[in-house]
Amino acid sequence: MRALVFDRFGPPEVLHVREVPDPQPTSGQVLVRTKAIGLNFADVYRRKGTYHLAGSPPFIAGYEAAGVVVSASAGSGFIEGQPVGFADMPFANAELVAVDAARLIPLPADISLDTAAAVLLQGLTAQYLVRDSHAVKSGDRVLVHAAAGGVGLLLTQWCASLGAKVIGLTSTDDKARAVMEAGAQAVLLYGDDWVEQVQSLSDGGVDVAYDSVGSTLMLSFAATRKRGHVVFYGMAGGDPPHIDPRMLMDTSKHLSGGDLWNVLTSAQERQTRAEDLFARVRSGALKVHIDSRFALADGALAHQRLESRASSGKVLLIP
């Protein structure tokens, strides 16, 4: 099979397509032929060597894809030809992936393969951010970093659907329009003095700031009210600074981290959460925006697109 691989850590140019042996499913695994693969910032971190990565060189990144079952062991609950998706199984940047049956999510007939690959990981991330990391409720004032990105657009929509007042942060006027269409009450640009503007718009500070940039963490605290909450769940802009616990004590603010791997803890958990996510897509409460599609062989260009911050929505790899 063909896979997008890299032999060393580095810029997008280290990526290339190579013929590698087909995966051999073990007991309890299902062989899936991918049709659409979701690209995520975590894959960028893995390529750079700053995030957990399975395997050994040549590395195959990726944890999210949708496709069809090629073969399944008896008792797995899956059949040949069935459309499926997954959000947390390694080596997804390939034509074939051996997926643990417990991590495989059957797709309803009205959820396309492209939609599944575009929404599973980031949609389930948005879900735990508003349910588990901070229980967003009507009237909450919420700051969403990188609001035009894959998670950002879904998170903005989800918070707005719950009645929260969302302030989005993004880099360009074009992206700002997409965030407003997603339900934000205001959108600010990173190039401006956004902390002061957030404080003004939220009567002194937001209740919760969702920070996926990392390097902006202290600014997120400055934009948050006393006794407010900062949720750190990504580092697209670089590693976060070290936090002085004394600052947390003096301001009564609190910081929490988030990682989807710590949420998807069982087959039932995946299924229940995916069903809720698909229901929101089906109802129109969540609109899935696909920014671009790249052939698997053009994986380096896909990474460049994502890292450039020119994208708005999901970047897909198509085998």
CB-CB contact of 47 with 40 (8 Å)? no
2-120+261-318 has CATH 3.10.450.350 classification:
no
CA proximity to 145, closest of 130, 167, 176, 175: 167
What are the boundaries of each domain within the chain? 2-120+261-318, 138-257
Return the pLDDT at 55. 85
User: Taking the CB of residue 112, how many other CB atoms lie within 10 A of it?
Assistant: 15
Q: Report the share of the chain in percent with pLDDT over 90.
A: 88
3-state secondary structure of 166: strand
Do 2-120+261-318 and 138-257 agree at the fold level? no
Instruction: Round to whole Å and give the CA distance between 211 and 231.
Output: 6
Rounded to two decimals, what is the model's pTM? 0.91
> Which homologous superfamily does the CATH classification assign to the domain defined by 138-257?
NAD(P)-binding Rossmann-like Domain (3.40.50.720)
Q: What is the pLDDT of residues 154-167, one digit of tens each?
A: 999 999 999 999 99
Averaged pLDDT for residues 80-95:
97
Q: What is the pLDDT of residues 244-290, one digit of tens each?
A: 999 999 999 999 998 898 999 999 999 999 999 999 999 999 999 99
- The region of weakest confidence among 149-153, 239-243, 308-312 is 308-312
